[in-house]
Structure 1
Amino acid sequence: MTTAFENREKAFEAKFRLDQEQEFKAVIRRDKLLGLWAAEQMGLSGDAAKSYALSVVDVEFSATDHDAGHKVARDLLDAGIAMDETAIRHQMAVLLEVAREQIVAEMKQS
């Protein structure tokens, strides 16, 4: 009986780790998508857009900014684009769902 409970506990722990890993990947993917979206708003394309998107992703790993939303809001403002932070947060929520769907689809393919 104990082995069954131990196996169940291990399965729950494995599921929790997988869920946490997927959510981390989704947030990073969302930030990349957000960076590409913001780059488009600022008129960036090609390598400049990709470079900007990576700078948005890097915010998650640095202590210099609060989060990707703050960076994008500040950068859009610096570029002369007035955008309400609520609109940016909404875009982040939409892109998080897109990112989650992409990751699940990629997992099903592999």
Structure 2
Amino acid sequence: MTTFDDRERAFENMFANDQELQFRIQARRNRLLGEWAAVKMGLTPEETDAYAKAVVQADFEEAGDEDVIRKLVGDMTSAGIDIDEAGVRAALDEQAVIARRMFIEAQ
């Protein structure tokens, strides 16, 4: 029975590690997305840093990416940037690839 218990613990640890890695990649993606949007809005470096953190925090409002997309579309539209949800989703996908690559290269 201990062999089965050991395998079960190993799978649980692997699952926990995978979930943590996905969380980190998603947080990095959101930060990169915030920096991308800040550049488009012409924010200063200090404002860019604060905005990127705000985008990361926005992701905790609800499950999924809708909260982040809604925030960026609203903020960028308010700043006079002509962008729609599809444009933000495309940027989100691009930043996800970059974030994943950053974690792979770091390992």
TM-score by length of 1: 0.85
Query: What is residue 23 of structure 1 aligned with on the other side?
Result: 22
Identity among equivalent positions (%) equals 38
SS of 1:80's partner is coil
Q: Tell me the distance in 1 between the aligned counterparts of 2:78 and 2:32.
A: 20
SS of 1:54's partner is helix
Q: Tell me the distance in 2 between the aligned counterparts of 1:94 and 1:10.
A: 35
Cα offsets for 1:13-37 (capped at 9, x unmatched): 1110001001111111111000000
Give 1:14's aligned amino acid: N
Query: What is residue 105 of structure 1 aligned with on the other side?
Result: 105
Give 1:45's aligned amino acid: T
Q: Tell me the distance in 2 between the aligned counterparts of 1:52 and 1:44.
A: 9
Residue 73 of structure 1 pairs with residue 73 of structure 2? yes
Q: Tell me the distance in 2 between the aligned counterparts of 1:60 and 1:78.
A: 20
The unaligned stretches of length 5 or more in structure 2 are none
Give 1:101's aligned amino acid: R
Aligned residues: 104
The unaligned stretches of length 5 or more in structure 1 are none
Q: Tell me the distance in 2 between the aligned counterparts of 1:26 and 1:67.
A: 17
Q: Tell me the distance in 2 between the aligned counterparts of 1:104 and 1:20.
A: 15
Give 2:57's aligned amino acid: D
The root-mean-square deviation of aligned C-alpha atoms, in Å, is: 1.5
Query: What is residue 50 of structure 2 aligned with on the other side?
Result: 51
